[in-house]
Structure formats: C-alpha cells, structure tokens
Amino acid sequence: MARENSIVADQLTIRKVPKKPFGVRFVKDLKKFGVMYLIFLPVLAYFIIFNYIPMYGITIAFKDFSIVKGIFGSPWVGLENFRELFIGEDFINVLRNTVAMALLNLVFGFLASITFAILLSEVRIKKFKRIVQVASYVPHFIATMVVAQLVIEFMNYNGAITQFLTLFGFERQNWLANPDVPVFWLINTLTDTWQGFGYGAIIFIAAIANVDPTLHEAAVVDGANRWDRIKHIVLPTIVPVITVMLTIRVGLIFVVGFDKILLLYKPITYVTADVLTTYTYRMAFGTFVDYGLASASGLFQSVIGMLLLIVSYSLRAKMGRD
Amino acid sequence: MVEKQSKIGLVIDTVIVLIMLTVIFISIVPVWHVLMSSISDGKFLLAKGGLILWPVKEFNLQGYALLFANLNILRGYLNTIIYVIGATMFGFVINVIGGYTLSRNTMYTKPLHVILFLTILFNGGLIPSYIVIRSLGMVGTMWALIIPGCTNAVYLIIMSTSFRSVAKESVEAAELDGAGHLAVMFKVILPQAMSMATVTLLFSVVGQWNSWFPASIFVPSQRDLWPIQLWIRQIVSENAGFLMTQNPDYDRFLIQYAVIIVATMPILIAFPFFLKYIEKGIILGGVKG
C-alpha cells in the first residue's frame, strides 16, 4: 500500500512540475557542474584505461595473438582458443580443483567465523573477550607471501604441523609435495580459514552484540539454558547477516584468494592444486607462453565470476524487497 | 547478565575459555615461531625443526645484522614504502574526486554509477590488463606498481556513499560563499566524512604493504624495484640452495626469518591502533552490502 501511495505521489509531482527541455537542463547542469566534470575527467580516464580498454583486450581470446602484430593486427580464429582450452587434458582437473577449493573455502570459512562469533559472545570476561578478538585478526594482516612461507615452514618434512600430525598416525612427509586428492585442497582451505576466521567474524560479533540484553534476561527468567538462548535468540539475529554475507561471498568465490596457490603449488601437485587463475598465469608468464589460451581461460573465469556476481546481487535485491 | 551458575554451565564456560585460548595460540604462534627462530643459533635451529617457542641454544642477532647489511633488502624496504605512499595517495585523490562527483545529483549521476559498477562486475582479466599496462610503457618501472592498482570502483562508491551522508546545508553554505568544487570536496565534505575515508586509506595501506603479485609480473627482473615481499621469496629460495654447500654460514639461514619479521612487524605494530576504523568499515560495508 505504502509503495503504491508513493508512486501516486511521484506521478502527482511530475504532473505539477513539467520537466524542462533537455537543452535548458543541459546548460544549467553544465554551468553548475562544468568545473567538477573537468576535475573528474582524469578519474574517468583512469577507469577507461585500466578497466575498459582491457575489456576490449578480451578479443585476444578469439585471436591468434602475437606480440609483434598487437591486439588489432592479430588474425581472428573464432573459438579455436576455447576449443583448445576445453579439450586440453588439464582443463577438467583445473575446473574440478577451482570449484572444490572455492566451495571448501566458502564452507569452512563461514562455519569457522560463525562458530567463533557465537563462542566468543558466551565469554563473560570483557577484557579477555577483547584480547581474543584482537588476536583473531592477526592472521588477516599477515602478507600472503609470509603466510605461504609459514605453510612451507610448518608443513615440510621437519615442520611443526607435520610433527603434530604424526601423533595421529600420519606418515611424516613434506605435505606440500603430496599430490593425493584432498591434501592440497585441505592445506589451502585451512590456511584460508586461518587467515580469515577472525576478520570474517567481525560482522557476526557486531550483530550478536546488538541483541537487546533484556531478551537474554527474560529468556533466563523463563528457564532457558545457554543452548536455548543460542538457538532462539542469537541464531535468529545473525541469520539475516549470514545470508547477506553468503551472497556477497558467493559472488566473489571465483575472484579472490588464489594468489596463495601460486606460492604453494609445485609441478608435482599441479594435478590437485592447479586452478583457473594459476593456469591462466602459467599460460601467460610460464615456459610455454600462449596469450590466446591464457586470455580464453581468463575470460572463462571472468564470465563465471560475473554470472555469480549477478546471481548474488539479484538475490540480495530480492531479499531487500522482502 | 544474572544467571545461576550450574555445574554444567561452569564446565561449558571452562571449555569455551580453553577454546578461546587455543584461538589465541593458533593466531599468534606462527609469527612467534618465526620471531624466536630469527634470534636463534642457526645451526642448532636447523637441526631441531618443529615448533620454536624460545630461542634455540642462545640469543643471536646475527640474522638481523646480515639482513641490514644487505643493501638489496634495504632498497626493497624503501620500495615498499614508496609504493604504499604513492599508491595510497594517488588512490585517495581519485577516491575523493570520484566520490564527490558521484555524490552530487547531476544529469550524469546514473550513467556514471553504471560505468563504475560494470568494472566491478566484469574485468578483462590478467592478460589484457598486462598488455595495456605494457603498452603504456609502465612495465619494468615503478609506475606499474603505483598507478594501475591504486584504487577501484568499490572504494569510489564507499566514498560517495559517505559523502552523501554529509549535511547538504554545509555544502550549500560553502557554495554561497563562493567556494569552488575542489574547495568543497577537500575542505567542506572530506573533513566531515573523514572516518570512512580513513577506512579506505587503511585498507589501501595494508593491501599495498602486503602486495607481491603485481610486482612479480610487472618488475620480474628489475631487482632494484622489488618490494620487500618479493625479497622474502628470493631469500628463502637462495637459502634452500646454500644449505647444500659445505660448511655454510648458518647465520645466513636466519635471514629468512629476520626478513619475515622485518616485513610483518610494521603492520602488526600499527594495526591495534586502527582496529576501530577497520571494524567500523567492515560493519558499515557489510550492512550496506
């Protein structure tokens, strides 16, 4: 009802004040904002140069590109690069690894953040709570390069985690050289979770802190125990936040978080560690350079990423309406 | 909270505290391990392996002495500082100008938003961007690490949102006094929206300080342009080879720990001071989506 009223109101205002002709508005706008547009021009140029011209560069994916001939001069080859990409024996592996690690990162990351936020909210000593929270951010601020060196340090033959795992009967080995199926995926996901759990929990902690304390008190009076309170007060509060964060993350899973792999994988683990980003990187800067193939695989990734983003945006828009 | 402490409640509280202590441990201990390794005796450290919670054998600063005697590292450190300051400042100016333009209601507000939004939605990918940056003559120079990655549409939109929340009256008053657009954006609006602007600044500083990938593709062989992060990789791989030689200088082994500490400490020391901005940024960003 309210919405219909506002539409009616809009129509009324439009009828009352007829729009001035385009020319008049144009001149008035230019008079007021002309200088601003001039100042803005370099910013626009920045986005055209570094975002829009590269978009034209995706035509490389449809060309037999050579550096000598340039983007314009190279001959068109239609979908040849994509055919080569899709029938390549690595492609299925790469796709499988990308999807597996993206999903694992998403699930583990989320569960860790939410569990941490809920457990932290149950800590009663304020000072201790704060210390834990601040400590949990530390991994997020450590550079990916350093994180990669830490993983190598802890998971090599003599590393602390390797030694710890032998307590549970795992064979002593350099885990990063193990090409078996879940090993590299788990290393990547656990590292990712370690880096992000505390930082990712900030939003949930804030949401939980916003719960009206009288709700908890009333629940206690009614005889609710801790689990009841978490189930009926805390969880319902953070579910909307979880949904929003989930849609954001789904939109980004193909975009972020793969630069670690470049530092951690080696030829022996390509079979489980290679993802679209690293594959593209090798095709472009590796031993056998193939810009056409690299662009095709980059474009494939961009398109999937875009589709996911659109799904995520429209999901959120839909939730916003409800 | 008034709650009767039952026995089970006490047990659960204890378990939670124990879990939280574990969280602190796993968050802090990797860096602690590196710090302690960096001040150990190289030879015994190498033989010991595992988790290092205390300097092995004896306190030894030779790793740092060797590190700071290495002009390459100092140069790398300087480069990182140049990239952080350069990219952050350049990006900030773009953010303020762009954010201001987007925040004013003009004839082009909608098309401009679409133009920016599309860059978030779709990008040309690694190769086309590389080719554009190379054709600008930036590859192999510092500019490739300062200009292309200094900002993005998300920062501009964050900025324009916070500019929009500034009271219109102050802008109108300044305009009546004859202030131009530059004066309005930097002297009137920006000071009132500084807390969100600080958030974008901090994200940029941390991101640039920790960045390594652009350097590895834009200045792969120009060692004098490497940021400190690339030197970490270089030193670790050099060490892997030199340990095979006969009678190596074991203090050299310590450099790989020292360089990590030197590269990480500035951020770790600084971050408690900008915590509240980061938290605020996350919460506002998350709510607005």
Query: What DSSP letter does each residue of A133-163 carry, written as one string?
Result: HHHHHGGGGS-HHHHHHHHHHHHSTT-HHHH
Mean pLDDT of chain B: 88
Looking at per-residue pLDDT, the higher value among A155 and B124 belongs to: A155
What's the CA gap between B221 and A143, in Å, rounded?
A: 22
Residues of B in contact with A146 (CB under 8 A): 229, 232, 260, 263-264
Number of helical (H) and strand (E) elements in chain B, helices listed first: 15, 0
Confidence bin at B249 (pLDDT 50/70/90): confident
CATH number of A80-321: 1.10.3720.10
In this complex, which of A33, A143, A194 lies closest to B264 when CB atoms are compared? Answer: A143
**Residue B210 touches chain A, beta carbons under 8 Å:** yes
pLDDT at A74: 85
Please tell me the class of the B61-289 domain: mainly alpha
Could you tell me the pTM of the whole model?
0.88
pLDDT at A253: 78
Please give the C-alpha separations between residue B83 and each of B24, B131, B210, B230, B233, in angstroms, as whole numbers.
32, 21, 11, 13, 19
Give the single-character DSSP code of B224. Answer: G
Confidence bin at B2 (pLDDT 50/70/90): very low
Confidence bin at B263 (pLDDT 50/70/90): very high
CATH 1.10.3720.10 maps onto chain B at: 61-289
Mean pLDDT of A283-297: 86
Given a cut of 50, is residue A156 above it in pLDDT? yes
Mean pLDDT of A73-78: 86
What's the CA gap between A209 and A121, in Å, rounded?
A: 8
User: Coil, strand, or helix at residue B202?
Assistant: helix
Chain A interface mutation, best of B123, B229, B234, B237, highest count of A Cβ atoms under 10 Å: B123
Mean pLDDT of B137-142: 94
Tokens describing residue B251:
């203090």
SS3 content of chain A, % helix, strand, coil (to 5): 80, 0, 20
Residues of A in contact with B115 (CB under 8 A): 44, 47
List the beta bridge partners of residue A76. Answer: A63
Cβ(A234)–Cβ(A118) below 8 Å: yes
Cβ(A92)–Cβ(A320) below 8 Å: no
**Residue A261 touches chain B, beta carbons under 8 Å:** no
- The one-letter code for the residue type at A185 is W
pLDDT at B167: 85
Cβ(A285)–Cβ(A108) below 8 Å: no
Contact flag A135-B28 (C-beta cutoff 8 Å): yes
Q: Residue B41 phi/psi, 5° resolution?
A: -85, 120
How crowded is residue B198: how many other Cβ atoms within 10 Å of its Cβ?
A: 16
Q: How far apart are the first and last CA of chain B?
A: 33
Cβ(A286)–Cβ(A274) below 8 Å: no
DSSP string over B89-104: HHHHHHHHHHHHHHHS
Task: Examine the predicted complex and report whether its ipTM is higher than 0.95.
Answer: no
Looking at per-residue pLDDT, the higher value among B184 and A226 belongs to: B184
Give the closest residue to B261 by CA, choosing from B82, B68, B79: B68
